[in-house]
Structure 1
Amino acid sequence: MQTSATFDPATVTRILFEGFPSFAIALFYLIGLTAVGAFAWGVYVQIRKYRRGQPLSKSFGKIDLQARFKDMVRVVLSHRTVARRDAAAGRAHRMIFYGFAVLFLGTATVTVDYDVTARFLGFHFWNGDFYLLFKLAMNLAGVSMIAGLIYMMVRRGWIKPPKLDYKRPDRQPGDPDYDRSGYRREDWAFLWTLVLIGITGFVLSALRLVWLQDRAVVWDTRWWSPVAALLAEMIKGVGVSASAAYAMRTGLWWFHGLLALTFIALIPYTKVKHIFTASGSLMMRDPLAAQRLPRVEPDSEKVGYKTITDFTWKHLLNLDACTKCGRCHEACPANAVGAPLSPRDVILSLREFANEALQKNALPDEVKLDVHGKDIGQVFMETVWSCRTCMACVEICPVAVEHVPIIVQMRRKLVEDGEMEPQVQKTLQAIHKNGNSFNESKRKRAAWTKPLPFQIKDARKEPVDLLWFVGDYASFDPRNQRVTQGFATLLHNAGIDFGLLYEGESNAGNDVRRVGEEGLYELLAENNIAMLGQSHFKRIVTTDPHSYNTIRNEYPDFGGKFEIEHYTSLVARMLSEGALEPRRKLGYRVTFHDPCHLGRFNKGYDAPRQILSAIGCELVDMPRSRDNSFCCGAGGGRIWMSDPVGKEKPSQNRMHEAARIEGLEVFVVCCPKDLTMFEDALKTSGYEGRFVVRELIELIAESLAQPAGDDPAEPGGVRAIAAA
């Protein structure tokens, strides 16, 4: 046997195809080129599919590809979206990703050295210290990838989190597209293929070490491949000779090579393509995907999504980016209460439909392109209308799939065709006629001001510092009117110069737009923008998160750029600056519900909590809070629709969560719709008397007022009401 002194360290390398005849090498290259050709054809088919979609709306804005690419790279490398709310899966995916990336780059490095620099430039760089470090890095990468894959196998096979159950809530057993076991098989095939590629790679290296054990340049440097070296020691230990190792290595080499080339060839046709589509989806992510829905272009011949070719190319890319991780499925409030909706299944259905219709050489006729209906791959009308547009799915998706905008685009077509619940249609007609969802006369919008002992300015007639955009529920709902009067009193007592639009205010249109009635939304937005433009004010405040969202994020597309804030940030600032001074600490044990349109949509998490702290409440957050808050069920126009009899409502589900907080006294909200939904749910879920639902404004008013005992008729009577 040679000793380490008999070889030049600079000659340490691995000669590819050692021991293979020329015809075998030629055959391998032929198979490799075939695999690359299959991959290239698959890429072409996918690009052709996306090109059959529509261009992006002008409202998407100018695309800065360089900035988007940098942001995508940061997200991919950090894995922050993958690790959110599932740290274990995030760690495992990170191990797989970085292991695979290093192995891929290593293989590419070998190819460049062998087929480019050596063949055409006459020099090798894959030797010496570089080669030794290369071997070590590849070993560690292989261990990382295999470990991550094994955890994912354990997760799917034994842990079995519910979000990975592909059972469909929008289909019944026996329906032709109910069974999604094919996805399960694809998942396992993906995991096993990568595991086998990794394991056979290690065994191949070990067999090569045993085969060439008499070469010091190979054997004496074996521990730079620690896993392969350990396996080699074990193989030698069981009596495998060098010649036997050579024979085994030859057969395994072909198995490993063909498996790897097959993997490459199938990338565009299987879930493996998410490596590229997920990156593309993240790169094209709209940071205001649900906060700011796209406009219907004035010259557009179609409204919404009727056929799969109506989808933008970006939304077609979103369909392929979905990794079936189930996080949107788990977060969806409609799915949680048994509605026939899973955001994941909507995306998968549309993906299956797109692949069937758009990957063919010629497009089928328009009837077969219709995504609405009851046929295989189509999305049911009941599914589309079950969505609360709460954005929980969009917010948690690790690959930036835009479920809500897609669903709203499908709703737009249903609305245009008149396919909606009669109550929704009546509500939209009422809004069109009177400017509010209560079908009340416009003159009654400010009727709540009459009992007040002071006059509120009309901002249309005289200038004010602060214009209060009140909203429908705060103006017309009797329970919310008391809260509205409380906020008016707070502003008046604080000496704030504020005013209203009175009957000049119309429904802001946030929920009208998310129902899918884009024409009515644009009418409302234009009317409100015109009225605001005629008024004199410095900034806007609103107690309605829904109005806040659309005025802040969507009115600018129609020329209405205004400075607006939700009342919680205004009050928090007044408390911190001393403009408001609580006269007593309330001492209540409370929990707080983050409204979707204030929290997830606009990141307004801190101000309400700062207020609760300032007025002396003990806050205990529910498990689902802040960006993981659970929708009350009112969004997306669902407050205008009847829920199925006998089914749990999202608001009741939320009450059950709150009731698990020991000693809870007050369930705090800061949205008029939340107050309506949760006070009703408190009664129907059986918790009336255990705790109360209160608007944050009511607690603020109680803290600012002189101590007056526990009078149930006053905001200060929380404990008395709960004990009654």
Structure 2
Amino acid sequence: MVKSMLAHKTLKRRDKAAGHAHALIFFGFALLFIGTSIITLDYDITGPLLGLNFWHGSFYLWFSLVLDIAGVALIGGLLYMMYRRKWLALPKLDYARPDRSPEDPDYDRNSYRREDWAFLWTLIIIGITGYVLEAARLVWLAGDPTVWDYRWWSPVGTALAYVFQGLGMSAEGGEALRLYSWWIHGVLALAFIALIPFTKVKHIFTAMGSLALRDPTPSSRLPMVDLEGDKIGYNRITDFSWKHLLHLDACTKCGRCHEACPANATGYPLSPRDLVLSLREFAADKLEKGSLPKDGDALSVLGDGPNQIRSETLWACRTCSACVEICPVGIEHVPMITEMRRQLVEQGDMEPTVQTALQQIQKKGNSFGENKRKRPAWTKKLDFEIKDARKEPVDILWFVGDYASFDPRYQKVSQAFAKILNAAGIDFGILFEAEMTAGNDVRRVGEEGLYQHLAESNIETLEACDFQRVVTTDPHSFNTLKNEYPEFGGKYNVQHASTLIRKMLNSHEIKLKKKLSNNTVTFHDPCHLGRLNKGYDAPRESIQMLGANLVEMKRSRDNSFCCGAGGGRIWTPDPVDHEKPSENRMREAAEIEGLDTFVVSCPKCMNMFEDSVKSTGNEKNIKVREVIELVAECMGLDDAPEPADEKSTAEA
């Protein structure tokens, strides 16, 4: 918290101008507050009680100079924020709601705009009246050398004093103006303090609390649920943890999450900011009246009523964590959304396709509904045997995952990875039909009971095997195996395939026969590998070692734009009248001059972008390839596999 506050690191990300302006306001306000407190300390505490007065001499002069500069910083920062709101007219600050229509009673949020402007004007008038007070005092005491001779230690007040004198103000006029200014300045300052609990000013305190209490991995490790407890998930506002209620109060309405959200960007009824604000307004309405409503249903945050969260809003979320990543005050949107989804699942309020996928996972252990015995079918096209990790010791246990096992396009990637490991002499094996889906997306859909069953079943299988480390090509499996399985007793050394490939390239275990020196490529960061686990460098370094010309998209690394598959959305068909997140991303990539290859490192990303490269008309110009495929090509293990003509089972 202290580091974030002092460095303003979270505020400067992706909006440096606003971050610097906020720093001017923050430090200017802090210094002025400290300065006022010092005067109080001298005049009202140490002076009368201890006979100790220090507000004079050199200390007073430096005090005066520092506070003059602090006031300029405060006013300068506020003026920029006004300019930003009025003349830049940023869409994220207009409070337009994607989850409501104009006829809805809670659609209009003009009150937020009025509050924002009142906040800015109040602070700037406090700052200006402080200078008027200072200048009026100098005009009043211009004949006193103990004041006037040291006037330039208050440079802003002095400059303003000369303006007043130039306008004909006398010493008596200065004395009168000082008196009125003192009262105006004092009343405004006290009113500002009094309004803290009721306005956005409270973020001065709630943001600090939110930053201090935030989970460093809020999206990669979701909270566990006691399945034997009285309730699962969040339905009523009283179900929310006190920390999540604090997060609601901490929101400053900056709109960064609104801007970063892939669902919001492509026309879905979700804005993380508006979700938080709706919950905050609902909490204020229900919890701050002194007594709770007698009707428990009146406390339900789920529904179509004013400030309730609609199910379509929650199901629009990709759990990509773009909102959590960019939030400057540490709000944990994804865990709250997941908790509310858990309650929707309890109520059976979900898309039929999601329900079908969950039923298939429960019955068959995979979302494709395929027989368990078909899971290792892709291995039959290899000209070597893969070890059965259940039957013999291996160094690497490869947890393959659903899409890498069943999706026709990604089966080619799985075969390429197996060839790479075999050629490098790596001792590896798989679980064959004993593997079940890792459950990462099951958990993020909100089906905690099924998730815990999957986790416990896979852990039981893994515990019976003899291996040193787990590797997976699927970032979704990687995330839950690494971050969530330990809560169930499954503590393993888990790596994503991109990390292993980089290591083998560096150690020359991988022997390259050619380079991709004539290829211009870009890399898409999978959310579960990148944002959730900071795995940004390994795939990029591998691509560069292959000799390709890597050009970054505008949104990359922690600002990568989700493919749209996460949070169970891969099981839900997108409406035909909506742009898909993957199409939005592919159009961004197509802006790169001379781009040959769109590189991914996730089976779900592969699935989504194979569709979007066609639907955006880029199929002839851009190929969607996996890092693994590029490595296999450079090793001469196989011709570059072309995308499969048939649709995946999921698409069908």
Q: Alignment partner for residue 454 of structure 1, among 384, 391, 404? A: 384
The residue type paired with residue 406 of structure 2 is: F
Summarize the alignment of residues 437-586 of structure 1 with structure 2, pairs less than 5 Å apart: 437-586=367-516
Report the TM-score when normalising by structure 1.
0.88
Are the aligned partners of 1:329 and 1:393 in contact in 2 as well (CA < 8 Å)? yes
* Counterpart for residue 580 of structure 2: 649
Q: Alignment partner for residue 385 of structure 1, among 279, 303, 315? A: 315
Give the distance between the partners of 1:227 and 1:481, measured in 2 at CA: 71
Q: Alignment partner for residue 277 of structure 2, among 319, 335, 348? A: 348
Q: Alignment partner for residue 133 of structure 2, among 196, 201, 204? A: 204
What secondary structure does 2:293 align onto? coil
Q: Give how far 1:123 is off.
A: 2.5
Q: Alignment partner for residue 535 of structure 2, among 591, 594, 604? A: 604
**1:590 to 2:521 alignment:** yes
Q: Give how far 1:297 is off.
A: 2.5
Summarize the alignment of residues 111-510 of structure 1 with structure 2, pairs less than 5 Å apart: 111-365=40-294, 366-510=296-440
Are the aligned partners of 2:151 and 2:158 in contact in 1 as well (CA < 8 Å)? yes
Q: Give how far 1:542 is off.
A: 0.3
Summarize the alignment of residues 610-649 of structure 1 with structure 2, pairs less than 5 Å apart: 610-649=541-580
Superimposed CA distance per residue, residues 242-268 of structure 1 (whole angstroms, 9 cap, x where no aligned partner): 111111222221111111100000011
Give the distance between the partners of 2:325 and 2:434, measured in 1 at CA: 35
Report the TM-score when normalising by structure 2.
0.97
Give the distance between the partners of 1:231 and 1:451, measured in 2 at CA: 84
**1:715 to 2:645 alignment:** no
Give the distance between the partners of 2:380 and 2:173, measured in 1 at CA: 98
Are the aligned partners of 2:601 and 2:627 in contact in 1 as well (CA < 8 Å)? yes
Give the distance between the partners of 1:717 and 1:288, measured in 2 at CA: 37
The residue type paired with residue 559 of structure 2 is: N
Superimposed CA distance per residue, residues 584-640 of structure 1 (whole angstroms, 9 cap, x where no aligned partner): 012211011000000001111111111111111110010001000000000000000
Q: Give how far 1:348 is off.
A: 0.5
Are the aligned partners of 2:321 and 2:527 in contact in 1 as well (CA < 8 Å)? yes
Give the distance between the partners of 1:544 and 1:252, measured in 2 at CA: 66
The residue type paired with residue 115 of structure 1 is: D
The residue type paired with residue 128 of structure 1 is: G
The residue type paired with residue 598 of structure 1 is: L
Give the distance between the partners of 1:304 and 1:298, measured in 2 at CA: 10
* Counterpart for residue 31 of structure 1: none
* Counterpart for residue 100 of structure 1: 29
Are the aligned partners of 2:222 and 2:484 in contact in 1 as well (CA < 8 Å)? yes
Give the distance between the partners of 2:332 and 2:485, measured in 1 at CA: 21
Q: Give how far 1:525 is off.
A: 0.3
Are the aligned partners of 2:412 and 2:641 in contact in 1 as well (CA < 8 Å)? no
Give the distance between the partners of 1:299 and 1:698, measured in 2 at CA: 46
* Counterpart for residue 617 of structure 2: 686
Superimposed CA distance per residue, residues 231-250 of structure 1 (whole angstroms, 9 cap, x where no aligned partner): 11111111111111111222
Superimposed CA distance per residue, residues 395-426 of structure 1 (whole angstroms, 9 cap, x where no aligned partner): 01110000000000000000011000111111
Q: Give how far 1:301 is off.
A: 1.1
Q: Give how far 1:659 is off.
A: 0.5
- Could you tell me the percent identity over the aligned residues? 63
Q: Give how far 1:167 is off.
A: 0.3
The residue type paired with residue 437 of structure 1 is: S
Superimposed CA distance per residue, residues 502-557 of structure 1 (whole angstroms, 9 cap, x where no aligned partner): 11110000000000000000000000111000001000100000000000000011
Give the distance between the partners of 1:300 and 1:240, measured in 2 at CA: 75
* Counterpart for residue 45 of structure 1: none
What secondary structure does 2:471 align onto? strand
Q: Give how far 1:299 is off.
A: 4.7
Are the aligned partners of 2:361 and 2:369 in contact in 1 as well (CA < 8 Å)? yes
Give the distance between the partners of 1:464 and 1:123, measured in 2 at CA: 76
What secondary structure does 1:635 align onto? coil
Between stretches 474-483 and 631-640, larger displacement belongs to 474-483
What secondary structure does 1:590 align onto? strand
**1:89 to 2:14 alignment:** no
The residue type paired with residue 416 of structure 1 is: E
What secondary structure does 2:381 align onto? coil
Are the aligned partners of 1:207 and 1:249 in contact in 2 as well (CA < 8 Å)? yes
Give the distance between the partners of 2:472 and 2:395, measured in 1 at CA: 14
Gaps of 5+ in 1: 1-71, 709-713, 719-724
Give the distance between the partners of 2:142 and 2:601, measured in 1 at CA: 74
* Counterpart for residue 66 of structure 1: none
* Counterpart for residue 647 of structure 2: none
Are the aligned partners of 2:397 and 2:430 in contact in 1 as well (CA < 8 Å)? yes
Are the aligned partners of 1:353 and 1:378 in contact in 2 as well (CA < 8 Å)? yes
Q: Give how far 1:218 is off.
A: 1.3
Are the aligned partners of 1:390 and 1:596 in contact in 2 as well (CA < 8 Å)? yes
Q: Once superposed, which parts of structure 1, at least 4 consecutive aligned residues long, lie more than 2 Å away?
A: 297-300
Q: Give how far 1:174 is off.
A: 2.0
Superimposed CA distance per residue, residues 95-116 of structure 1 (whole angstroms, 9 cap, x where no aligned partner): 0000000000011111111111
What secondary structure does 1:622 align onto? coil
Are the aligned partners of 1:699 and 1:716 in contact in 2 as well (CA < 8 Å)? no
Cα RMSD after superposing both structures:
1.1
What secondary structure does 1:467 align onto? strand
Give the distance between the partners of 1:101 and 1:550, measured in 2 at CA: 43
* Counterpart for residue 69 of structure 1: none
Superimposed CA distance per residue, residues 270-322 of structure 1 (whole angstroms, 9 cap, x where no aligned partner): 00000000000000010010000000135521100000010000000000111
Superimposed CA distance per residue, residues 345-386 of structure 1 (whole angstroms, 9 cap, x where no aligned partner): 000000111111111111113111100111111011100000
Gaps of 5+ in 2: 644-652
Give the distance between the partners of 1:289 and 1:248, measured in 2 at CA: 54
Figure out how many residues of one structure are paired with residues of the other and give that number.
Answer: 641
What secondary structure does 1:536 align onto? coil
Q: Give how far 1:326 is off.
A: 0.7
Structure with the greater alpha carbon radius of gyration: 1
Give the distance between the partners of 1:168 and 1:299, measured in 2 at CA: 38
What secondary structure does 2:309 align onto? coil
**1:665 to 2:590 alignment:** no
